[in-house]
Amino acid sequence: MTKSMYKYIGEFWRNRETPEFKELMRSRLIQWRREGATERVEKPTRLDRARTLGYKAKQGYVIVRAKVRRGGRRKKRPVRGRKSRNMGVNKVTPKKSIKLIAEERVARKYSNLEVLNSYWVGQDGRHKFFEVILIDPQHPVIAKDPRTSWVSIKEYRGDDIVYLKNPVHRGRVHRGLTSAGKKSRGLRTKGKGAEKVRPSLRRHGRRGN
């Protein structure tokens, strides 16, 4: 049985210890480090992964590469004396994943678009790089496609039809509604041990009041 092009691309990205992958990643990271924190790109670096997550090569779709610094919180050491265990400097990590932080930063810069999903494209000792898939809710191609019409609403203005953002899905990345956000909220766990995660940890704590 013959393999598709996407199958070969996926195998190349899964085998990251090969000399070809290391050389390609090394040359790309040299260029990516010099660029800004968010850079719009013409086409996905990982076409197979982008297609799996909903990307289509047509109008209304935007790909943005985000660069986020790795590691936990950078907290300053106290000026006065402390015991080592009471300093609260090391091992202070955010609950959000770096992937979710990348999506939020891209969403703030491209405020007229909505985040659909994202995927990893590289990392070095200092940064991680992700490509974020965004869609334009006001674009007719997005609004008329059954796969993405949920992000838009139709409004009649005289004889014209205007597509607007659906208020239900506005700012979805900042409310933890993307895949990375749901993972950080613990929503991928079901059944025993996950009694408190739905609808959210904060809401569950306020139920008895």
Domain range summary for the chain, segments of one domain joined by +: 5-134
Helix 19-34 / helix 5-14 crossing angle, nearest 10 deg: 80
Do 11 and 39 contact (CB within 8 A), yes or no?
A: no
- Whether the per-residue pLDDT at 208 is higher than 70: the answer is no
Q: What is the CATH number of domain 5-134?
A: 3.40.1120.10
Q: What is the pLDDT of residues 118-170, one digit of tens each?
A: 999 999 999 999 999 999 999 999 999 999 999 999 888 888 889 999 999 99
DSSP state of 9: H
Task: Please compute the mean of the pLDDT values over residues 189-209 and round it to a whole number.
Answer: 88
Is residue 205 over pLDDT 70?
Answer: yes
What's the pTM? 0.90
